[in-house]
Structure 1
Amino acid sequence: MTAGYKDDKEDWQAVCLKYLLFVFNFLFWMGGAAVLGVGVWTLVEKSDYLSLLASSTFAVSAYILILAGSLVVVTGFLGCCAVIREQKSCLSTYFLCLLLIFLIELVAGVLAYVYYQKLSEELKHHLNQTMTENYAQPGKGDITLAVDKLQQDFKCCGSNNSRDWLMSVYISSKPAESRVVPDSCCKTIIPLCGKRDHPSNIYKVEGGCITKLEQFLADHLLIIGAVGIGVACLQICGMVFTSCLYRRIKTDPY
């Protein structure tokens, strides 16, 4: 086998690797947009319910995805420059950025999975206490709004059932004006509609709001985990292609 043939073969392999990296960068950008979109959607669309959770793991997972998605934009541009210029220093930096984002997204995925396992227990222990002790209390306006939105959005009343409100600090107070449930439990909200807890007037959902919120959060955590780990796995391909191209380049061109 002649030296010229070897050089031609190596050049052909380097060209293939460059095209593969370009294709990867396109997929990488799309994956980054998905990661960023899921993170923003989770916080903006469903931020009302975050005040009802005992821990901040759900929000932290979303923030991590937003950080990772933002880094993808910069890293994708760096990757294109590294491939075009064929400089080892650029490729090394690109590889390290991929590795960093890979670890960030992996952390987000693992956090989402771990919290998914603890979600049911947390809601059972925390949601009822939050609703009965903090609803309509001074300085707890965010929780009050979150509970009202929760009951209206999911058409539920009380953490387990409507009778949970009988233990509420709010229902026992004068401002309740003889209500037995908050007005947000009513199918049609009008002032003081919470005085009557008949099924024709309020939502009587089996399992209460805990079941509804748990299912909702579980679905979102699965999406966060799947997107984070899925894009992280995609980056493994990028790191492999980058390593191969790095080995094909003998010296940095001047």
Structure 2
Amino acid sequence: MGQCGITSSKTVLVFLNLIFWAAAGILCYIGAYVFITYDDYDHFFEDVYTLIPAVVIIAVGTLLFIIGVIGCCATIRESSCGLATFAAILLLVFVTECVVVVLGYIYRAKVEDEVNHSIQKVYNEYSGPNTDAPSRAIDYVQRQLHCCGIHNYSDWRNTRWFKESKNNSVPVSCCQPNINNCTGTLTRPADLYQEGCEALVVKKLKEIMMYVIWAALTFASIQMLGMLCACVVLCRRSHDPAYELLVTTNSYA
């Protein structure tokens, strides 16, 4: 029975190591996705520390790949030292992912305040389509999120660009895609997106942070199973003389 339990735990460990390799790629992808998306919305969100969870999740993904190598080698070679190292690194990664979850929730709670603080300034800096980075960011967000203005399209009346242009129009990025020959004129408000961008930017950034949180929670639970299996193999090996003899015999064979 003991030998069967050890064999089962080793099989699970090998399978988990394959999952760790897949997880490493997924975590790195999620971290990269957060960086790329943040770059599109960084003008609306000035707190660069929000990227810390993404940085940590990429580091964890890299470490998981190394863990997979160590775990496979230790399991196949039945190395007590290797399995102990494997379990210790898994514990470290588990703690790190718990930190990611906590940081994710902290920064997720700060998103709305950050956007509220920054968005008015960004809209006031708008200088026209395809000009500077803040202006391109506004046009990009309005097209991507199907929104116009901060709370609605009428917010454009209070911007410097609207007052200087004197054409009673908002940027064409406010135009709904199914409207032909839309110029952004406020005389035809039905042609424009009706929802403001502030709430949608907050929602998008919170969704991004939730991807990080759920990824960390999911793979933390898998790592708990990996630590458990490694501990089972180590404990049964240390208390089963027959298994020690079998390993020693196989080593000399």
TM-score range, shorter chain: 0.7 to 0.9
2:45 matched residue in structure 1: 53
2:57 matched residue in structure 1: 65
Change (3 A) 1:141 1:191: farther
1:186 matched residue in structure 2: 175
Alignment of 1:214-253 (within 5 A): 214-250=202-238
Change (3 A) 1:70 1:51: farther
1:18 matched residue in structure 2: 10
Change (3 A) 1:57 1:233: farther
Verify the 8 A CA contact 1:179 1:192 in the aligned structure 2.
no
Amino acid at match of 1:41: Y
SS where residue 170 of structure 2 aligns?
coil
Alignment of 1:83-232 (within 5 A): 83-132=75-124, 134-136=125-127, 141-173=132-164, 176=165, 178=167, 180-187=169-176, 193-196=183-186, 198-205=188-195, 208-232=196-220
Unaligned runs of 5+ in 2: 239-243
Amino acid at match of 1:123: V
1:4 matched residue in structure 2: none
Verify the 8 A CA contact 1:78 1:90 in the aligned structure 2.
yes
Q: For residues 208 and 161 of structure 2, what CA distance do their matches in structure 1 show?
A: 31
TM-score by length of 1: 0.80
2:241 matched residue in structure 1: none
The CA deviation string for residues 148-173 of structure 1, in whole angstroms up to 9 with x for no partner, is: 10011122111112222223233344
Please state how far the C-alpha of 1:224 moved relative to its aligned partner: 1.6
Amino acid at match of 2:142: Q
Q: For residues 181 and 139 of structure 2, what CA distance do their matches in structure 1 show?
A: 14
The reply to whether residue 32 of structure 1 matches residue 21 of structure 2 is no
Q: For residues 103 and 145 of structure 1, what CA distance do their matches in structure 2 show?
A: 40
TM-score by length of 2: 0.81
| Segment drifting more, 225-234 vs 60-69 | 60-69
The CA deviation string for residues 117-138 of structure 1, in whole angstroms up to 9 with x for no partner, is: 2222322232222222x3239x
Q: For residues 142 and 212 of structure 2, what CA distance do their matches in structure 1 show?
A: 25
Cα RMSD of the aligned pairs, angstroms, is 2.9
Please state how far the C-alpha of 1:197 moved relative to its aligned partner: 5.4
Q: How many residues align?
A: 239
The CA deviation string for residues 8-28 of structure 1, in whole angstroms up to 9 with x for no partner, is: x44333222211211222333
Change (3 A) 1:136 1:59: farther
Unaligned runs of 5+ in 1: 1-8
| Segment drifting more, 196-205 vs 92-101 | 196-205
Q: For residues 85 and 54 of structure 2, what CA distance do their matches in structure 1 show?
A: 26
